[in-house]
Amino acid sequence: MSLVRVHNFAVSLDGFGTGAGQSLEAPFGHAQHRLMQWFFGTRTFQSMHGEGDGGSTGVDDAFARQWGPGIGVEIMGRNKFGPQRGPWTDEEWQGWWGDEPPFRTPVFVLTHHPRPVLELKGGNTFHFIDADPAQALAMAKEAAGDLDVRIGGGPSTVRQFLAADLVDHLHVVVVPIVLGRGERLWDSLESLEQRFTIEATTSPSGVTHLVFDRR
Amino acid sequence: MSLVRVHNFAVSLDGFGTGAGQSLEAPFGHAQHRLMQWFFGTRTFQSMHGEGDGGSTGVDDAFARQWGPGIGVEIMGRNKFGPQRGPWTDEEWQGWWGDEPPFRTPVFVLTHHPRPVLELKGGNTFHFIDADPAQALAMAKEAAGDLDVRIGGGPSTVRQFLAADLVDHLHVVVVPIVLGRGERLWDSLESLEQRFTIEATTSPSGVTHLVFDRR
């Protein structure tokens, strides 16, 4: 049975999954790179970015590398795709990831403003769809075949899929910083823990990995 | 040099240090006992409540027992003392802890409605003072002599002392539940981490202990 998975989703102690003020220059807003610092040090990240065999291979990397295997489709929110809001004024924008993004699968981007399919190298085909979580998941599962579907973020997208009880596996990385503003992951998810078993693991980098598996 | 310490302060994943709807029957509101379940299992808790040598002696207990030694005074917010709000309508109320509370030191209760000193057994003398954090701390330090001062909670009291940069040691226990409502610890504390070194330790009970020490 194919699963719906979330990986490497970092939040601050106060539960923000991204900072305030996202822009072209600041994809994570005022959080800058602080939520993802633990990830940059891993071999998983460094090999995704062509830096060879560098990077740590400890617990952060062990979690980070779960991200890819078995995934057939990613669903992401529009704010993960880019900083534009409202109707597209610049369809030249192809995401943050250059001409060969790291997903290597079809990607469904949730937006109230559909636009034509965008095909980039390496199997990265972006579909822009106006759909609720259940509808989007049905489309994604069809495209994924027997493989799993990853919910890629940002916070409001992950939160909506959790609220709709569509997530089977959730990996959250709690980073010991207090952001104060931005977009919260946990809002409106009261008693979420009742639907999951939860395991916590700390890392020498200072973060805590939380793994939620559907009961 | 005497320190200002916070111990055994539990928060949910979404940062709530207490639930919504505190009352005589529900000191933690809708959170009930879920934030303190990790503590009830420890030998520290069980020996405080006369249950002898029962309870765990692992990492939860190792953290829990730091609570007492070296403390000369506790400062608490009024909502930790009891569920009444506004002018005291019932001065018979002597706190949640019976006639011999576990503090065994002077206790300063922050309130806009001072009332006479309340002396209970075991050195538990409650002073009700209308003071800001710095003023309260000055009074507490004088009463504590060379010993440390503990900030006992609730969330808004701890938050105010953190905001005023008056805390030297902060032990927070992150409990893997999503409360959704209540009183948040981390609000208005953006960039708090810059003033502390932070270490995280998980426990078999499922909680994560965070220790903040002033840099």
Contact B179 A190 (CB under 8 A): yes
Those residues with Cβ within 8 angstroms of residue A118's Cβ, 6 or more apart along the chain or in another chain: A94, A125, A126, A128
Query: What's the rounded mean pLDDT across residues A159-168?
Result: 98
Contact B200 A14 (CB under 8 A): no
Which residues in chain B are closer than 8 Å to A200, comparing Cβ atoms?
Answer: 176, 202, 206-208
Is the pLDDT score of A90 beyond 90? no
Alpha-carbon distance A164 to nearest alpha carbon in chain B (angstroms): 16
Please give the biggest Cα pair distance in chain A: 44
Q: C-alpha A64: how far from its chain's center?
A: 12
Q: What is the pLDDT of residues B143-199, one digit of tens each?
A: 999 999 999 999 999 999 999 999 999 999 999 999 999 999 999 999 999 999 999
Q: What is the pLDDT of residues A18-66, one digit of tens each?
A: 999 988 888 899 999 999 999 999 999 998 877 677 999 999 999 999 9
Q: Which domain holds residue B62?
A: 4-214
Q: Can you give the length of chain B in residues?
A: 215
DSSP H helices, chain A, are: 37-40, 43-48, 59-64, 78-81, 133-144, 155-163
Give the Cα separation of B84 and B90 in Å (integer).
8
Which residues in chain B are closer than 8 Å to A184, comparing Cβ atoms?
Answer: 14
Q: Quick one: pLDDT at residue A134?
A: 98
Contact B200 A176 (CB under 8 A): yes
Q: Quick one: pLDDT at residue A147?
A: 98
pLDDT beneath 50: ranges in chain B: none
Q: Quick one: pLDDT at residue B53?
A: 79
Q: Which DSSP state fits B144?
A: H
Residue carrying the six token digits 């005497």: B2
Those residues with Cβ within 8 angstroms of residue A202's Cβ, 6 or more apart along the chain or in another chain: A208, A209, B200, B201, B202, B208
Contact A13 B13 (CB under 8 A): no
| Average pLDDT of every residue of chain A | 95
Q: Quick one: pLDDT at residue B55?
A: 93
At what angle are helices B133-144 and B155-163 packed, to 10 degrees? 90
Q: Quick one: pLDDT at residue B12?
A: 98
Domains held by chain A: number: 1
Could you tell me if residue A178 is inside a domain?
yes
Question: Residue B120, Cβ neighbours under 10 Å: how many?
Answer: 17
Q: Quick one: pLDDT at residue A44?
A: 94
* Domain harbouring B178, CATH code: 3.40.430.10
Query: What's the rounded mean pLDDT across residues A124-140?
Result: 97
Could you tell me if residue A92 is inside a domain?
no
Could you tell me if residue A94 is inside a domain?
no
Q: Quick one: pLDDT at residue B97?
A: 93
Could you tell me if residue A194 is inside a domain?
yes
The number of C-alpha atoms within 13 Å of B79 and in the hemisphere containing its C-beta is 19
ipTM for this prediction = 0.91
Query: Does the N-terminal peptide bond of residue A154 adopt cis geometry, omega within 30 degrees of 0?
Result: yes
Q: Quick one: pLDDT at residue B187?
A: 96
Query: Does the N-terminal peptide bond of residue B154 adopt cis geometry, omega within 30 degrees of 0?
Result: yes
Q: Could you say which of A15, A177, A191 has the minimum Cβ distance to residue B15?
A: A15
Three-state SS at B50: coil
Query: What's the rounded mean pLDDT across residues A163-167?
Result: 98
